[in-house]
């Protein structure tokens, strides 16, 4: 299996996941043209995509959802709360054929081709947000962004992933000293906001230590443009990895770029 971020951050989020036989997009927060360009840059085509999975209805995750559905007839998966908010709420993506909509439930796994998709609920200020794990051929990819905190349940869902794609949104000191209004600062660092670099570091080290198999790659994602730097997110997490993990537990660490595709991580 392999995963590649095509776009990451508040300007737009989109992830490509593939087993080789089955190809999935998670979110469509960049423009349709941009997603097609980034897929082509990694040797893939939008016409080969088997499904579009939506985590939640914020515009940086659904911007081109309607366009891709109407232009390419891609099947869309999401919770009822998420899809209804996307279609009817203030982030409306326009009309989509009901035949393309697939309503899913947190903790109820389903198959897309040869990939087992396992959605699980996360705490975020959206209608019914979820994150996803993917399994095929005995390998697992765990993803989780847009969550205000993690707990034992989240750890259990992500445990034993070969590759992790996790939010490292902000540096708490940059956020508190920055230009955001007080209410927005409280939202970002609240229980329905986003994971900080420090929280991400704690989650990464715990998962790498407790997983039965070796986590080969960790990709840090959804970095704030105003309250973080790629180098700072990397160093915060990497420092904890060096302190808390043995050599044989340490993953290869990457940061997902904001506007272009990332390193393609493949399971070993």
**Percent with pLDDT over 90 in the chain:** 96
In a domain, residue 268? The reply is no
Largest pairwise CA distance in the chain: 52
Q: How would residue 89 be classed by pLDDT, with cut points 50, 70 and 90?
A: confident
In a domain, residue 139? The reply is yes
In a domain, residue 124? The reply is yes
Count H helices and E strands in the chain, helices first.
Answer: 9, 14
Count CA within 13 A, CB hemisphere, residue 234: 9
In a domain, residue 80? The reply is yes
* 255 strand-pairing partners: 220
In a domain, residue 267? The reply is no
Taking 80 as the threshold, does the pLDDT of residue 90 lie above it?
A: no
Range of the domain at 129: 2-262
The pTM score is: 0.97
Question: Of 87, 166, 79, 88, which Cα lies nearest the Cα of 127?
Answer: 79
Domain count, the chain: 1
Q: How would residue 92 be classed by pLDDT, with cut points 50, 70 and 90?
A: confident
In a domain, residue 253? The reply is yes
pLDDT at 197: 98
Residue ranges of E strands in 129-230: 130-136, 139-144, 163-167, 217-221
Taking 90 as the threshold, does the pLDDT of residue 211 lie above it?
A: yes
Q: How would residue 249 be classed by pLDDT, with cut points 50, 70 and 90?
A: very high
For residue 145, give the CATH number of its domain. 3.60.15.10
Radius of gyration of the chain (CA): 17
In a domain, residue 92? The reply is yes
Residue pair 171/197 in contact by the 8 Å Cβ criterion: yes
């Amino acid at each position: 299996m392999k995963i590649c971020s095509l776009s990451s951050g508040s300007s737009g989020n989109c992830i490509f996941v593939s087993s080789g036989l089955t190809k999935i997009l998670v979110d469509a927060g960049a423009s349709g043209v941009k997603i097609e360009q980034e897929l082509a840059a990694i040797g893939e085509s939008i016409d080969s995509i088997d499904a579009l999975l939506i985590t939640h209805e914020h515009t940086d995750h659904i911007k081109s959802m309607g366009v891709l559905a109407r232009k390419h007839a891609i099947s869309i998966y999401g919770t009822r709360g998420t899809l209804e908010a996307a279609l009817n709420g203030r982030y409306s993506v326009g009309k989509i054929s009901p035949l393309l909509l697939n309503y899913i439930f947190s903790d109820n796994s389903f198959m897309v081709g040869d990939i087992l998709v396992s959605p699980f609920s996360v705490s975020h200020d959206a209608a019914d947000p979820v994150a996803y794990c993917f399994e095929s051929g005995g390998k697992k990819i765990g993803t989780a962004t847009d969550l205000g905190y993690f707990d034992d349940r989240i750890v259990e869902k992500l445990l034993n992933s070969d590759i992790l794609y996790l939010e490292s949104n902000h540096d708490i000191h940059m956020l508190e000293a920055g230009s955001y209004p007080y209410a927005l600062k409280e939202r970002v660092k609240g229980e329905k906001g986003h994971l900080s670099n420090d929280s991400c570091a704690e989650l990464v080290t715990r998962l790498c230590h407790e997983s039965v198999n070796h986590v080969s790659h960790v990709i840090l994602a959804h970095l704030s443009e105003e309250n973080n730097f790629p180098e700072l997110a990397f160093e915060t997490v990497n420092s904890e990895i060096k302190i808390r993990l043995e050599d044989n537990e340490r993953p290869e660490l990457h940061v997902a770029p904001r506007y272009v595709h990332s390193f393609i991580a493949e399971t070993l």
